[in-house]
Chain A
């Protein structure tokens, strides 16, 4: 079974600064997807970024980028130019590529990000 670990329960960043959220995972599979989801106070989980394990290039989405280290099973999220609207819970998630069930996601426990002025 796969596991996802987020070792930072809370992080804080000043507006306009950069912050990195950590995620490690454990799997015996070679082909899978990794995701970062954001859950603001509205409670809706929103996909921030995704990474395919077979791609060496790190995914980027505007101010959000990942550092994917497959050998180390590490998948960190970097938020640049942080904004007040980035304050939320961030969840790292894993999905096997070989499942017929699309979103059988395995989640970490989350990191609460605070953004200060």
Chain B
């Protein structure tokens, strides 16, 4: 049982659709992250939120729009995506400060853009 839950697990969407990915953590963490995992490439950090404030946008196209209404929930709103955006999107959470602030990951959303 994971402390970080992502929904949906799988998503197929057309290039003109609008959809949202959801992430919820029950670990009492105050930092949340979106990562993109593509085949044969390292995981790419997309966005970072500390205490509900976005602290990093790693040059992500505007067709990806994050939202963090509170420390436990993180969304990734998707619109007019491209086929190359097909990937596994991983959410993670951690304590924002401290020595051992390792990330805990969800199981990801497998996104296919057609």
Bound-state CA distance A44–B104 (Å) is: 9
Indicate with 1 or 0, residue by residue over A39-80, a CB within 8 angstroms of chain B CB atoms: 000111111001000000000000000000000000000000
- Interchain CB contact under 8 A, B41 and A43: no
B86 on the A face (CB < 8 A): no
Residue of B with least CB distance to A3: B42
Q: Does A22 contact B (CB under 8 A)?
A: no
Does A101 contact B55, Cβ atoms closer than 8 Å?
yes
Chain B positions within 8 Å of A19 at CB level: none
Q: How many contacts between A and B, using CB within 8 angstroms?
A: 65
Residue from A43, A47, A100, A102 within 8 A of B107 (CB atoms)? A43
With a cutoff of 8 Å between Cβ atoms, the chain B residues found around residue A43 in the complex are 88, 90, 107-108, 110
Q: List 28 A-B contacts (CB under 8 A).
A: A37-B105, A42-B107, A43-B107, A43-B110, A44-B108, A45-B105, A46-B105, A100-B96, A100-B97, A101-B31, A101-B48, A101-B56, A101-B96, A102-B31, A102-B94, A102-B95, A102-B97, A102-B98, A102-B102, A103-B31, A103-B33, A103-B103, A104-B48, A105-B43, A105-B45, A105-B103, A107-B42, A109-B40
